[in-house]
Structure 1
Amino acid sequence: MSTAGIGLGLTGFGVFFSFLGIILFFDKGLLAIGNILFISGVIMTIGIKSSLQFFMKPSNFKGTISFGIGFFFVIIGWPVIGMAAEAYGSLILFSGFWPTLSVFVQKTPVIGWVFQQPFIRSFLGYRGKRAPV
C-alpha cells in the first residue's frame, strides 16, 4: 500500500473521529485525535512539500491561522469555539475544491440524483447549467 493510500485512510479516520466527537457533545479527546489524524492524512496524501506550499500560500494563510487557532482551542478544552474556528478555516482552505467535489457527488449513483435536481443546482450556484467537468 502506498503512502497516499495510507494518507487517505488517515484522513477518513480523522473525519470520522471528528464527526464522532461532535456527535458525543464535543468530546475534546475525540476531536483532538480527529484533527491529528486529518492533518497527518493530508500530509501523507499529498506530501510534506506540497502540504507546506498549500498551507502557506498567501491566499490560504487566513484559513491556516484560523484552523490552527481552532485546534489550539480544542486542545485546551474549549471544543465548541475550536470547532467553529476550524470550520471557518476549513471553508477558507478547501473552498477551491468545492466545484470538484460537486461534480464528484453529482456523478455518484444514488446521491447524484438528488444533487442534479434544479433546486439543489440553483442553490449550489449552477443556475440550470450543467456542472463543470
Structure 2
Amino acid sequence: MISELQKLGAGLTGFGVFFLVFGVLLYFDTVLLAFGNILFLAGLALIIGLNRTFSFFFQWHKLRGSSFFIGGALLVLLRWPVIGILCEIYGFINLFRGFFPVVFGFLASLGNIPLLTKLYLNLARSESPME
C-alpha cells in the first residue's frame, strides 16, 4: 500500500532525475542541476521518511558515498557543476551499489534483453559469497 505522500515523493524523485539529466544535456546548467538535486533529495525523503533517509545516508559503511553525494550537490550549488556532478555520480554508485543487481534483475525479467541478462548474471556471480 502506497500512501499519497509516497506517491508525491515518487513524482518529486522522477522530476529530480529529469532535471538532473536535462541539466547535464544542457552543458551542465547549474540552476537545473541544483533544482534536480533538491527535488531528488526531497522526493527520497518523502518516499522513505525523514528518519530513514537520515539513517540511510549516515550509516558508517556508506559515509564515503554520502559525503561525495552531498559534497557534489554543494559543489553544484557553488557553481562548480562538472566537478559536482562527477562527485555525485561517484557517491551515487557507492550509496546504491547494493540496489544495482536488484534493478538489473528486474529489468532482465521484463524480457529477454541480452545485454542486461548477461550483466545481471555477471553481477550475481560476483556478489555471491560462495566464491
The normalised TM-score by structure 1 is 0.85
Q: 1:40 aligns with which of 34, 42, 60?
A: 42
Query: Residue 73 of structure 1 aligns with which residue?
Result: 75
> Counting helix residues as a fraction of each chain, which structure ranks higher?
2
Unaligned 5+ segments in structure 2 are: 126-131
Q: Write the distance in 2 (CA, Å) between the matches of 1:84 and 1:105.
A: 26
Per the TM alignment, residue 2 of structure 1 is displaced from its structure 2 partner at its CA by 1.1
Query: Residue 94 of structure 1 aligns with which residue?
Result: 96
Per the TM alignment, residue 108 of structure 1 is displaced from its structure 2 partner at its CA by 2.2
Residue correspondences, number: 122
| Amino acid across the alignment from 1:95 | R
Per the TM alignment, residue 107 of structure 1 is displaced from its structure 2 partner at its CA by 1.8
Per the TM alignment, residue 113 of structure 1 is displaced from its structure 2 partner at its CA by 1.8
Identity of aligned residues (%): 38
Per the TM alignment, residue 68 of structure 1 is displaced from its structure 2 partner at its CA by 1.3
| Amino acid across the alignment from 1:66 | F
Per the TM alignment, residue 121 of structure 1 is displaced from its structure 2 partner at its CA by 4.6
The normalised TM-score by structure 2 is 0.86
Q: 1:125 aligns with which of 123, 127, 131?
A: 123
Per-residue CA shift, 1:25-50, capped at 9, x if unaligned? 00000000000000000000000111
Q: Write the distance in 1 (CA, Å) between the matches of 2:16 and 2:79.
A: 19
